[in-house]
């Protein structure tokens, strides 16, 4: 348990956290803004990488590959959206169905292999494990991803301030009111799901480059990591009165914190196979907190008639 | 302006929970009518308003607003004709959004929502002016999240939103029932002011018979999915609560069953 080992691992944790931060921003759109739990992302978090790596292998530029990954992610979101709104399947189930279907599609994209490597020496990757140290600062993965997040936050901040973006937020806040105000709530949900899965697939494309391979199982449990980041951000930065851009940015900090905590836990000797269990427990606890609070706290407040800040 | 013709609606047909809420409802409103609607629990009052608003489609019959047949129009498309305020103050506003953002949403009712700014500086000034007319000090709290407002403030805001773009028809479903008596009276006063200001055609459900008599130019009583009594003009003005009770007993062939109404 050499502390130096931990410090050496931190930049990598930061880079991974930032990439998952982009993914978590996608989850934030469905989970927080639209109030939908979308499990499609467990599929799109593998699809984006598969598309991106296969395109780069066949000679396309990294930016075009990422763009196509984004678009394919959007299509996955569209499928879930249509299953949910036009065909009336509950959102969670619609997401699970798309995710399951994507597994087969991902395998096909990966040429029926469980993973496909992309060599950092042979291809001009945007981000990589190898671009953490000993590269010019502008090629440093942490900086590159941070800039991408800044741009993404700026674009989303603008978008959710438009008439259309406001209508999406209203749909998540109160769909009765939204319809009474003439908002097509089903269309808004579909747009949100498309946008969210596009962003997740984009993150997936970056993550595959970072790791040096696309993996058909890359998305397993992705929703839990995304939710963990959203929840950590809520717990740590939720009390700070910041605007919407701050909220989005804080989600990526949530993901960084998640990865740093994982590093520490591993450094303390936990087997990396146990990490998923740990993540699940942590997220379950944080998801339960608001419920426990409303279930057990208000009684006290009402009885004593104290200040009602609970 | 509004015409309901032979409206039928049965919930959960073919199940043990089958319930016919509207059966052969006919109603015609004239431009500028302010109609109060009363009736016992389950009489079909809310169902009638929901049918007009398009919350679901009716089984039979037609609904026309100003000559447009809206029977098959989905709820969000019908919204361009309608302003709505609900019984539950939580229902009419987006709690996680600011007061100004809620008003901006209402200002775009019936319009296409593009990638233009969701709220403009010019609008802000206008919203401020309109909020001031409520006399609740909300014009100083435009960026407050609506979830922090009281029930009465939220209903007043919802009313303002409903009338921000003049609706052809304003639907009020017991919108003061969840408020304490003092707040309810104030919100009702605001309602009257907003309706008068623009001469808005209005359907207002209330369980308070005194309010039903005091407001509007016409009163209808519903029972078992139909209108059983319809008065307007001088006759309505001279009504007493006891007349309404008698009317109800006559129609239902029994004692007045709605304890909520008895209290008033
Ligand atoms: N969505 C629904 N699903 C099933 N049954 C419904 C639904 N909405 C209304 N009903 C039933 O239809 C009947 C009429 O209900 P409605 O809400 O219109 O009554 P109301 O006149 O508004 O009564 P109240 O004074 O209690 O509000 C009731 O028996 C009610 O249970
Ligand atoms: Mg009702």
ipTM for this prediction: 0.92
Q: Is 90 exceeded by the pLDDT of residue A110?
A: yes
Residue of B188, B99, B88 lying closest to B139 (CA atoms): B99
Please list all protein residues whose beta carbon sits less than 5 angstroms from ligand 2, which is an ion: B 46
| Residue percentage of chain A with pLDDT more than 90 | 74
| Contact partners, residue B173, CB within 8 Å, separation at least 6 | B45, B46, B49, B84, B85, B86, B87, B205
What value does the mean pLDDT take over residues B118-143?
Answer: 95
- For residue A19, the enclosing domain spans 3-296
pLDDT value at residue B232: 92
Contact B113 A181 (CB under 8 A): no
- Contact status of A168 with chain B (Cβ, < 8 Å): no
Of A162, A172, A176, the CB nearest to B118: A162
For residue A306, the number of C-alpha atoms closer than 13 Å in the C-beta half-sphere is: 8
In a domain, B141, yes or no: no
Atom nearest to B43 CA in ligand 1: 21
pLDDT at res. B254: 60
Q: How far is CA A157 from CA A70, A149, A152, A233, B238, in A?
A: 19, 12, 8, 17, 58
Structural domain includes residue A306: no
Task: Say what the pLDDT of residue A302 is.
Answer: 41
Domain membership flag for residue B150: no
Q: Identify the CA nearest to A81 among candidates A67, A69, A95, A71.
A: A95
**A127-140 residue pLDDT tens:** 999 999 888 989 99
DSSP H/E element including B39? strand B34-39
Q: Is the pLDDT of residue A45 over 60?
A: yes
- Has residue B160 been placed in a domain? no
CATH number at residue B207: 3.40.50.300
Q: Which residues in chain B have their CB less than 8 angstroms from residue A174's CB?
A: 90-91, 93-95
Q: Which residues of B touch A (CB under 8 A)?
A: 53, 74-77, 79-80, 82, 84, 86, 90-97, 101, 104-106, 108-111, 113-119, 161
Other CB atoms within a 10 A radius of the CB of residue A97 amount to: 18
Which ligand is in closest contact with the Cα of B259?
A: 1
pLDDT tens figures, A148-157: 999 999 999 9
Ligand 1, residues at Cβ distance < 6 Å: B 11-12, 19, 21, 39, 41-47
- The mean per-residue pLDDT over the stretch A11-23 comes to 94
Beta bridge partners of A214: A116
Instruction: Give the position, in ligand 1's atom list, of the atom nearest the Cα of B20.
Output: 12
φ/ψ of A131, rounded to 5, equals -95, 30
Query: What pLDDT is stored for residue B255 in this prediction?
Result: 54
Q: In the numeric block, which tokens belong to residue A5?
A: 């080992």
Question: In this predicted model, which residue has the larger pLDDT, A8 or A171?
Answer: A171
SS3 for A97-155 is HHHHHHHHHHHHHCCCCCEEECCCCCCCCCCCHHHCCCCCHHHCHHHHHHHHHHHHHHH
Domain membership of residue B219 (yes or no) is yes
Residue A305, domain member (yes or no): no
Please report the pLDDT score of residue B260 as a whole number: 52
- Residue A303 CA to residue A310 CA, distance in Å, equals 13
CA angle B225, B228, B229 (to 5 degrees): 140
In chain A, the number of structural domains is 1
CB A33 within 8 A of CB A244: no
A249/A229 Cα distance (integer angstroms): 11
Our CA-based measurement puts residue B108 at a distance from the nearest CA of chain A, in whole angstroms, of: 8
Average pLDDT over residues B122-142: 95
A166-175, A296-305, B76-85, B205-214 — which is least confidently predicted? Answer: A296-305
Atom 18 in ligand 1: residue holding the nearest Cα: B44
B127 to chain A, closest Cα gap in Å: 16
Query: Quick one: pLDDT at residue B14?
Result: 92
Q: What is the per-residue pLDDT for A299?
A: 54
For residue B126, the Cα-to-chain-centroid distance in whole angstroms is 25
**How far, in Å, CA of A157 to CA of A228, rounded?**
22
Q: Which of B84, B91, B118 to mutate to test the interface with A (most CBs of A within 10 A)?
A: B118
Is the pLDDT score of B33 beyond 60?
yes
pLDDT at A292 over 60: yes
Residue A302 lies in a domain: no
> What percentage of chain A carries pLDDT values higher than 70?
95
Binned at pLDDT 50, 70 and 90, residue B242 comes out as: confident
| DSSP codes of every residue in chain A | --HHHHHHHHHHHHHHHHHHHHHHHHHHIIIIIS----TTHHHHHHHHHHHHHHHHHTT--HHHHHHHHHHHHHHHHHHHHHHHHTS---HHHHHHHHHHHHHHHHHHHTTT-SEEE--TTTS--SS-GGGSSSS-GGG-HHHHHHHHHHHHHHHHHHHTTBHHHHHHHHHHH-HHHHHHTT--HHHHHHHHHHHHHHHHHHHHHHHHHHHTEEETTTTTTHHHHHHHHHHHHHHHHTTS---HHHHHHHHHHHHHHHHHHHHHHHHTT--GGGHHHHHHHHHHHHHHHHHHHHHHHHHHHHHHT-----
The mean pLDDT of chain A is 91
How many other C-beta atoms lie within 10 A of the C-beta of residue B124? 15
Question: How large is the average pLDDT for residues B42-60?
Answer: 96
For residue A11, pLDDT over 70 is answered with yes
Judged by average pLDDT, the poorest of A258-272, B73-87, B129-143 is: A258-272
Domain count, chain B: 1
Residue pointed to by tokens 């003009």:
B233
Residue B109 lies in a domain: no
Residues 281 to 310 of A: which have CB under 8 A from any B CB? none
| Closest residue by Cα to residue B46 from B19, B17, B67 | B19
- CB of A235 closer than 8 Å to CB of A248: no
Q: What is the pLDDT of residues B216-229, one digit of tens each?
A: 999 999 999 999 99
As a whole number, the mean pLDDT across chain B is 93
CA distance B193 to chain A (A): 22
Q: Is residue B178 part of a domain?
A: yes
In the predicted model, what is the mean pLDDT of residues B235-246?
Answer: 88
In a domain, A307, yes or no: no
Q: Which domain holds residue B243?
A: 2-81+167-263
From the number of C-beta atoms within 10 Å of its C-beta (0-12, 13-18, 19+), residue A265 rates as middle
Sign of the Cα torsion A196, A198, A201, A203 reads negative
Do the chains contact at A182 and B108, CB–CB below 8 Å? yes
Does the pLDDT at position A101 exceed 70?
yes
Contacts of A172 in chain B (CB under 8 A): 96
Using a CB-CB cut-off of 8 Å, the residues of chain A touching B108 are 163, 167, 181-182
In Å, how far are A30, A149, A222 from A228, measured between CA atoms? 14, 18, 10
Q: Compute CA distances A88 → A92, A144, B43, B102, whole Å.
A: 11, 41, 30, 28
- Closest C-alpha residue for ligand 1 atom 28: B42
Contact B94 A177 (CB under 8 A): yes
The band of B261, judged by pLDDT with boundaries at 50, 70 and 90, is low
pLDDT for A52 beyond 50: yes
Mean pLDDT value of segment A191-204:
98
pTM over 0.90: yes
């Amino acid at each position: 348990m050499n502390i130096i080992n931990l410090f050496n691992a931190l930049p990598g944790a930061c880079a991974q956290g930032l990439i998952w931060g982009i993914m978590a921003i996608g989850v934030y759109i469905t989970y927080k803004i639209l109030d939908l739990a979308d499990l499609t992302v467990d599929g799109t978090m593998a699809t984006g990488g598969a598309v991106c790596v296969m395109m780069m292998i066949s000679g396309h530029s990294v930016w075009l590959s990422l763009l196509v990954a984004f678009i394919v992610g959007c299509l996955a979101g569209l499928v879930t959206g249509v299953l949910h709104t036009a065909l009336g399947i509950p959102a969670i189930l619609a997401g699970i169905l798309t995710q399951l279907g994507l597994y087969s599609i991902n395998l096909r994209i990966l040429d029926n292999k469980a993973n496909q490597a992309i060599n950092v020496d042979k291809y001009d990757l945007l981000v990589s494990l190898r671009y953490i140290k000993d590269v010019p600062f502008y090629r440093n993965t942490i900086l590159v991803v941070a800039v991408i997040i800044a741009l993404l936050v700026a674009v989303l901040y603008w978008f959710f301030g438009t008439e259309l973006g406001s209508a999406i937020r209203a749909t998540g806040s109160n769909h009765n009111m939204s319809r009474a105000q003439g908002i097509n709530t089903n269309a808004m949900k579909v747009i949100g799901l498309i946008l969210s899965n596009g962003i997740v697939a984009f993150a997936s494309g970056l993550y595959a480059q970072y790791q040096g391979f696309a993996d058909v199982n890359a998305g397993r449990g992705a929703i839990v990591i995304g939710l963990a980041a959203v929840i950590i951000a809520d717990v740590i930065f939720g009390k700070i009165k910041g605007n919407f851009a701050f909220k989005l940015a804080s989600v990526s900090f949530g993901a960084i914190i998640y990865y740093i905590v994982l590093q520490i836990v591993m450094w303390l000797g936990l087997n990396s196979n146990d990490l998923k269990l740990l993540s699940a427990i942590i997220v379950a606890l944080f998801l339960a907190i608001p419920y426990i609070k409303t279930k057990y706290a208000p009684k006290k407040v009402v009885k004593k008639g104290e200040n009602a800040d609970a | 302006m509004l015409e309901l013709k032979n409206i039928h609606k049965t919930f959960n047909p073919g199940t043990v929970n089958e319930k016919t809420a509207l059966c052969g409802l006919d109603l015609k409103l004239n431009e500028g009518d302010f109609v109060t609607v009363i009736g016992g629990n389950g009489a079909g009052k809310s169902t009638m308003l929901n049918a007009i608003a398009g919350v679901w489609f009716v089984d039979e019959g037609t609904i026309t607003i100003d000559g447009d047949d809206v029977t098959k129009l989905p709820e969000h498309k019908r919204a361009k004709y309608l302003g709505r305020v609900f019984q539950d103050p939580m229902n009419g506003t987006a709690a996680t959004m600011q007061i100004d953002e809620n008003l901006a949403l209402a200002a775009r009712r019936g319009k296409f929502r593009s990638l233009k700014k969701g709220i403009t500086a010019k609008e802000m000034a206008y919203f401020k002016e309109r909020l001031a007319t409520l006399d609740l000090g909300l014009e100083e709290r435009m960026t407050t999240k609506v979830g922090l407002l009281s029930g009465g403030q939220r209903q007043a805001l919802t009313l303002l939103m409903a009338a921000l773009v003049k609706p052809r028809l304003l639907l009020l479903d017991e919108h003061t029932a969840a408020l304490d008596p003092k707040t309810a009276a104030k919100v009702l006063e605001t309602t009257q002011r907003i309706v008068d200001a623009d001469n808005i055609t209005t359907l207002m459900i209330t369980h308070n018979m005194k309010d039903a008599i005091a407001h509007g130019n016409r009163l209808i009583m519903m029972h078992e999915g139909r209108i059983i009594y319809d008065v307007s003009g001088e006759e309505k003005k001279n009504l007493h609560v006891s007349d309404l009770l008698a009317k109800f007993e006559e129609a239902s062939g029994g004692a007045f069953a709605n304890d909520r109404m008895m209290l008033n």
